[in-house]
Amino acid sequence: MIDNIKTKIISMRRDRIKSEGYALGVEIPEERRVPLTLFCESPGLICEIKRKSPSKGDIRFDLDAVAQSKLYYSKGVKSVSVLTEENHFNGSLKDLIAVKEATPELAVLRKDFLIDTEDIITSYKAGADAVLLIASALTLDALKEMYQLSTELGMKVLFEVHDQKDFEKANIIKPEITGINCRDLSSFSIDLASPIKKLFNLNYEGKKIFESGIFGSWSANVALSNGFDGLLVGESVVRAPELIPSLLGTFPSENRQSKFWSNLYKKNHLPLIKICGLTREEDVYYADKLGADIMGFIFAESPRRVSPSFVRSLPKTKALKVGVVTDWEQDKESLTTLLDAGYLDAIQFHRAPSGKLLKDFKYPFYIGIEAKSIEEYRGQRDIPSIRHLIDAFHKDRFDTNASKTLSPEIITEASKSKPLWLAGGLNPDNIHEIVKMYQPELVDVASGVESSPGIKDHRKMESFFKETRVESI
C-alpha cells in the first residue's frame, strides 16, 4: 500500500513540477543566503518537523515549523528533518526556508520525494544542509548523479534503503550516511528488529541512521546498541518534545545495552531455537553443541529455578543466555550483577512489568505473553517490546507444559504485528508441523525435551533440533 502511495506522490510531484516548477509555487532565493551546517554531527539525533503522514494521518496539523525547530535546538538537538511534501505530509519549502533562516545553527535535512538534480539545486538554494534520497524511488544512475551534485554543493545525503535492491544500490554508491527505516512498506507496521537484521547487507563503513519507531529511550537504546550511529525521530518528538533529553541520554556509549539483538540476528537460520529451564551443566553443553540460539535460565518459583552462582559457573557459549523472570524487583540485585558482568545477555519478562520499569530499563529484554483468550491477548499486545513470546496459557506457569496448547486464533492475531516467537506445548512430535504451519522466527521448548522437570533428555533434544530444522521446512 505504501509503495502505491510513494508512486502516487512522485507522480503528483512530477505533474506539479511541469506546471509550477521545482519550487512548487514557493519563492526560492536566487542564491543560497544561509551558511552550510554539518548534518548529523554528534549526537546523531535528527528530530522531524512533520504535521501529518499517510500512516498516521494528522499528527499536529497546526505545527509551527520555526517554533518547533527552536524548541528542538533549545533541548540540544543539532539536526532537524523538515518534510516539504505538501499533499500527504502538509509540508512546504516555505517551512525549510523559514526554519533555516530562523535557526542557522541547526543542520536542516530536506525530506521529500526528490526526483532529479534540479531538486538538489532547489534544495541547496532554499537552505538545506542535507537531502533525502530514497533508493527505491530512483534509478542507480539518478542516485549517483544526485549524490555527486549534493556532495559538490557541500550538502550531506541521507541515503534511505528498504529492500535488497536498495542495498545493492547502496553498496555501489557507498554513501556517507545511510538510513534504514523500520516501517514495513506494505503494511505500515513497525518492526524494530528489521533495521538491525538489514545492517548485515551493507558492505561499507559510514554512519547508519535508524529511522522511525523510536518512542522512548528503551527503543533508542536498542538501535544505538546494535550498530546504529544515529536516530531519525518523527511522530514521538512532534507530539512530546519532552522526550528529547532521555533520547539524547542514550547516546553516550557507557549508557548502551549489550548487542543482544544484533548477535541474535547474525545467526543465519530460521527458526531460532531457545532451550529454556536449563538446570544442569551437561544440558547446557549439549544444547550449545546442538546449536541452540538462546538458553533460558529461570529466576522464578519453579522446579527449574536456578541460582545466580550456577549461571556464573557456566562457560562461555555460542548461545545467548537469557534470565526468565516474573518479578524483576525480587531478583533485581543478582540479575543486574549477572547482566553487567556478561553472564546474562538479556531478560525475558514472563509477566509484563510496569510501564515505568520498561520505559527506563537499560538491558535488552522481551516480553512473554500468556493469554486465555483473544481479548486477553489484545489487552497485552501493545506492551513495548521488540518481540513478544506467545506462550500457551497454563495456570502453573513454570510447573509443566504437558497440557498446554497453542491457540491458533491468538497466533494468527499475533503474526499481524510481529514475527512469531512461540512457546508452550512444543516437543519433537509436533514441532515440524507447527513450524511448517506458522513459520515462526523462534521456538522455545522446556518440558518437551525433558525426562523430568529441569532434567533434559538429550535424545529428545536432538530429535527436537532435527525436526525443527529439516530442509523441507
Query: Which CATH number goes with the domain that contains 289?
Result: 3.20.20.70
Q: Tell me the pLDDT band of 397, cut-offs 50, 70 and 90.
A: very low
Q: Report whether pLDDT(194) > 80.
A: yes
Overall number of domains in the chain: 2
pLDDT: which is higher, 186 or 63 = 63
Q: Report whether pLDDT(398) > 60.
A: no
Assess whether 80 and 161 both reside in one domain. yes
Q: Report whether pLDDT(1) > 70.
A: no
pLDDT: which is higher, 469 or 278 = 278
Q: What is the pLDDT of residue 188?
A: 67
- Partnered with residue 52 across adjacent β-strands are 58
Q: What is the pLDDT of residue 254?
A: 81
Assess whether 7 and 134 both reside in one domain. yes
pLDDT in tens, 312-344: 999 999 999 999 999 998 999 999 999 999 999
Q: Report whether pLDDT(395) > 70.
A: no
Q: Which of 7-16, 32-41, 155-164, 275-284 has the lowest mean pLDDT?
A: 7-16
How confident is the model over 137-144, as a mean pLDDT? 97
pLDDT: which is higher, 473 or 137 = 137
Strands (E), 213-337: 230-233, 272-276, 294-299, 320-325
Q: Report whether pLDDT(401) > 60.
A: no
pLDDT in tens, 65-120: 999 999 999 999 999 999 999 988 999 999 999 999 999 999 999 999 999 999 99
Where is the domain boundary, 256, 287, 310?
A: 256
| Contact by Cβ (8 Å): 454, 284 | no
For 440, list phi and psi in degrees, rounded to 5: -70, 155
Could you tell me the residue range of the domain that residue 138 belongs to?
Answer: 2-256
Q: What is the pLDDT of residue 309?
A: 97
Is 79 inside a domain boundary?
A: yes
Assess whether 170 and 237 both reside in one domain. yes
Q: Report whether pLDDT(396) > 50.
A: no
Q: Tell me the pLDDT band of 406, cut-offs 50, 70 and 90.
A: confident
Q: Which of 269-283, 352-366, 437-451 has the lowest mean pLDDT?
A: 352-366
Q: What is the pLDDT of residue 152?
A: 98
Q: Report whether pLDDT(15) > 50.
A: yes
| Three-state secondary-structure class, residue 133 | strand
Mean pLDDT, the chain, whole residue set: 92
Q: Report whether pLDDT(372) > 90.
A: no
Q: Report whether pLDDT(471) > 90.
A: no
Burial class (CB in 10 A: 0-12, 13-18, 19+), 342: exposed
How confident is the model over 286-303, as a mean pLDDT? 96
CA distance 423 to 368: 9
Q: Which of 145-149, 284-288, 404-408 has the lowest mean pLDDT?
A: 404-408
Omega within 30 of 0 (cis) for the link into 364: no
Where is the domain boundary, 226, 256, 286?
A: 256
Per-residue cell: 247: 533520547
Assess whether 443 and 317 both reside in one domain. yes
Q: Report whether pLDDT(233) > 50.
A: yes
CA distance 297 to 305: 7
Q: Which residue has the cell 512469531?
A: 420
Best mean pLDDT range from 4-18, 347-361, 384-398: 4-18
Q: Tell me the pLDDT band of 432, cut-offs 50, 70 and 90.
A: very high
The CB density around residue 1, as the number of other CB atoms within 10 Å, is 12
For 265, list phi and psi in degrees, rounded to 5: -85, 0
Is 473 inside a domain boundary?
A: no
Assess whether 192 and 319 both reside in one domain. no
Assess whether 174 and 267 both reside in one domain. no
How confident is the model over 257-286, as a mean pLDDT? 95
Assess whether 97 and 205 both reside in one domain. yes
Q: Report whether pLDDT(402) > 60.
A: no
pLDDT in tens, 437-462: 999 999 999 999 999 999 999 999 99
Is 244 inside a domain boundary?
A: yes
Assess whether 270 and 246 both reside in one domain. no
Where is the domain boundary, 256, 284, 312?
A: 256
